[in-house]
Structure 1
């Protein structure tokens, strides 16, 4: 996903441009810290205090110049209009959040308002068109059959979550003036890898295969996750 995001940023902004980035649901700050290291100013929004503590711990180990480029706000991301003026950011990330939001449209509309004209909205969502893949490949035939007719699922954390379909999100992005510019699949081949598994010795080859599959039909259509990139009109 980082490769995909970098590709979209490089295609939209001038080389060396210092971007204003909003990362909603930043988790432990993986993307926020990576982008700050690249020279961008990042505001991270997260509601899980444990995640915030982990992000602050990693940030504290960075040089002062990088620490100064990161701001962290405790919030669930639905009150961006309280914290920021419309058009305040060049890039808005919302990765792994929509699956926990019952009605994502208001959140998405709020995020789109935060974008400056020409700004990039990056979403990472569970692929509702491929919900049967994980249970099917695991031999859970009842679960696979049920997944064909549902947008709901139980994730690896044991939490009930929801998936989004590409056509629905495409229509939503158009309606909020941030139409879909590009989309990718994420975790095409590796979705069944156990949590906490050690990276394999051939990690570079694995990433190359995932990257190629994530941008190639029909493989990207059955990925566990979808990475959608919209551009503000």
Structure 2
């Protein structure tokens, strides 16, 4: 996931350019902090008080140069227009958020407005076209059958959430002025791994297999998650 994002950034912006990054629904700030360490100016938005407290604690332990490049805002991701001017960012991240939003179109339109021309919108969503894979591979045939014709599912936290279809998001991104530029599959082979499972000794080989599958049809089409990259104004890099 991080490698895919870095690839898109490297292909779109000059080497060494300090980018203005907005991470909406940043959670504990792992991705935001990684980008700040890489030299970018990062603003993280998170609504959950516990999550943003963890992010602040982690950031406090960083060197001053990194702390000065990162700003944390406690807010709903749908309120970006309240805090920021249109076109204020080169890169906008929204990873693992859309599944909690019943109607994401307004959120996505707001995020697209935050992008400067040529800016990159990075989304990580649950793949609605592959919802039957996890229960099917676990031998839960009844749940697999009910997963084919729905976008609703229960996540590992026990929450009832929703997934997105690639074709629907492609249409949405075109409609908000940030057409789909590239997409990848995430967790093609590893979605059924238990939470907290120990990493295998050949983890680098595993990651290489996941990376290859995430870029290759038909494997990426059945990934648990989809990583979509839209570009404000479209066009090739």
- 1:198 deviation in Å? 2.1
Give the TM-score of the pair, scaled to structure 2. Answer: 0.97
194-203 or 118-127: which moved more? 194-203
Structure 1 residues 125-160: Cα deviation after superposition (integer angstroms, max 9, x where no partner) = 000000000000011101000000110000000000
Q: RMSD in angstroms over aligned alpha carbons?
A: 0.6
Per the TM alignment, residue 202 of structure 1 is displaced from its structure 2 partner at its CA by: 1.3
- Matched residues in 1 for 2:197 and 2:65: separation? 33
Whole-angstrom distance in 2 between the partners of 1:3 and 1:14: 17
- Counterparts of 1:29 and 1:175, CA distance in 2: 29
C-alpha distance in structure 1 between counterparts of 2:166 and 2:114, whole Å: 23
SS of residue in 2 equivalent to 1:78: helix
Aligned residue in 1 for 2:163: 163
Structure 1 residues without counterparts, runs of 5 or longer: none
* TM-score, scaled to structure 1: 0.99
- Which consecutive segments of 4 or more residues in structure 1 shift more than 2 A? none
Matches within 5 A, 1:109-124: 109-124=109-124
Per-residue deviation, residues 53-76 of structure 1 (Å, max 9, x unmatched)? 111121112111001111111112
The residue number in structure 2 matching 1:186 is 186
Aligned partners of 2:204, 2:31: CA distance in 1, in Å? 19
Taking the aligned partners of 1:228 and 1:25, their CA distance within structure 2 comes to 16
CA displacement at 1:204 relative to structure 2: 1.0
